[in-house]
Amino acid sequence: MNEWFSAVTERGVRISGPMLQQKAEFFAEKIGHGNFKATEGWMSRWKDRNNIKFTRRIKKGYGSYNSFVLS
């Protein structure tokens, strides 16, 4: 999960919360943990462990969107 996150953010891809949760569940399924649910609590703890901060960027004329950045 960490390797994937680093690889995509290094390419400039902005990751949203739902994208992160979906990818976590995908990887869990791949390693045989099909019943894993990437909850908000799981995501919060994962971000804390990996020093990832949630930010909100506002795009002029398009509203706002949420994404994660490495600190």
How many other CB atoms sit within 10 Å of the CB of residue 5?
20
Q: What is the pLDDT of residues 14-67, one digit of tens each?
A: 888 999 999 999 999 999 999 999 999 999 999 999 999 877 666 655 554 555
Domain boundaries, the chain: 2-70
How many other CB atoms sit within 10 Å of the CB of residue 38?
20
Q: Give the pTM.
A: 0.73
DSSP labels, 4-71: HHHHHHHTT--B-HHHHHHHHHHHHHHTT-TT----HHHHHHHHHHTTEEEEEEEETTTEEEEEEEE-
